[in-house]
Structure 1
Amino acid sequence: MRKLVYYIGASVDGYIAGPKGEYDFYPVGDADRAAEYAARVNARYPETVPTALRPHVGLADAANQRFDTVLMGHNTYRQALTHGTPSPYAHLRQFVLSNSLGAAPDPAVTVAAGDPLALVRDLKRQQGQDIWLCGGGRVAAALLPELDELIIKSYPVVAGAGIPVFDGQFDPTRFRVTARESFGNDVLMTWFEAVR
């Protein structure tokens, strides 16, 4: 069965973005360390690089390694729209989980209103690769019962405030660490799987 995987970057204090959706505060190190980090991460998960950026990082023809579907919250998708990109991951099947967005401005994007858990359960029953949840915090909290894995890129910075990794009710949910990798730019990537 397909897995739902939350693959996200976060500050040391657990924020995926600043209060206004900022994400440019993550330190990636000097040019050499940043390039080494990007190359290793992009080689492992090339499908998580937005379509418009793929040719610029040598991934124009890269096959999807792990995911063939992406789920985004309303605010995550709005960031793409703000940058003039109505289909940010055209190489994936794209869903925006929103009860207020209305129709998507691009036919390659499906706006899914209603119960996000029902959508994920239906997607998991379909054939295909795993499903990538790329943000945001409210969507992640709503989908917590169906999250199979977390992949957290921890950046060495304290944000102080912003959008948390999970923005929901108190609901302790166990995960176990399956792998951990550190990079020369002090980013720590940790893989977790749900304990069910």
Structure 2
Amino acid sequence: MSREIILYIAESLDGYIAETDGSIDFLGGGAELLEDETSYQELMAKIDTVVMGRTTYDQVVNELAPGQYPYEEQTSYIITSRTEDDSENLIFTNQEPVDLVKTLAKEQGKAIWIVGGGSIIAPLVEANLIDIYIITTIPVILGKGIPLFNEFNGPINLTVENVYVKNNMVYTTYSKQ
């Protein structure tokens, strides 16, 4: 049995996950609002593994949750070209995202959360490895930035599972057909 691969991410109305300089300031009070959002708690109960790029990791530890790594209870895989020392639940790797996720999907465990960023998400989308897309749309139009989806040889057909509005944000869940 293969583990479920989940992309849970926020984007601007025009499809950007970060501003051109990598800033995620447009999320505003997103971290505080997540505490009132049950889909985040549901996600955390389903997963035991997170996969993210180095830039996303740096944003988490330096901006979003300084002093308290929020995924201590999960095994985190940080895809990076920099050499780092691993700890019990924090693994730095230079493995390609598709190879890493295919390997992890074959292992025993709960679902795998793809946290970000764009260079991690793009090859996984193109390889059609993501089973569930949970996308929170923030009502702001950036005009430019780092897109959630890059150009690729598609299509990938999805089914809309759920849509709702909470805290002035639109939450949409899609599943792979």
Regarding TM over 0.5, the answer is: yes
Secondary structure of 1:65 counterpart? helix
Q: CA deviation at 1:115?
A: 2.7
Give the CA deviation at 1:127: 1.7
What runs of 5+ residues in structure 1 fail to find an aligned partner? Answer: 49-63
Q: Does 1:21 align with 2:22?
A: yes
**Comparing 171-180 and 151-160, the one that deviates more:** 171-180
CA RMSD of aligned residues (A): 2.6
Partner of residue 38, structure 1? 34
Percentage of pairs with the same residue: 31
Q: Spell out, residue by residue over 1:91-135, the C-alpha distance to the aligned partner (whole angstroms, 9 max, x if none).
A: 21000122x122247553212213321221121112211100010
Corresponding residue of 1:180: 163
Q: 1:113 to 1:28 in 2, by over 3 A?
A: closer
Decide whether the 8 Å contact of 2:86 with 2:92 is kept in 1: no
1:142 to 115, 123, 127: 123
Name which of structure 1's ranges 123-132 and 3-12 shifts more when overlaid on structure 2.
123-132
Distance in 2 (CA, whole Å) between partners of 1:173 and 1:74 is 27
Deviating 4+ runs (over 4 angstroms) = 83-88, 104-107
Equivalent of 1:96 in 78, 96, 114: 78
Aligned positions, number:
172
Unaligned runs of 5+ in 2: none
In the TM superposition, what whole-angstrom CA distance separates every residue of 1:142-177 from its partner, at most 9, and x where no partner exists?
111211110000111101111111235343222111
TM-score, normalised by the number of residues in structure 1: 0.76
- 1:115 maps to 2:96: yes
Superposed displacement of residue 28, structure 1: 5.4
Q: 1:97·1:113 contact (CA, 8 Å) conserved in 2?
A: yes
Indicate yes or no: 2:153 matched with 1:152.
no
CA deviations over 1:64-110 (Å, ceiling 9, x no partner): 41111100012111223544559552121000122x12224755321
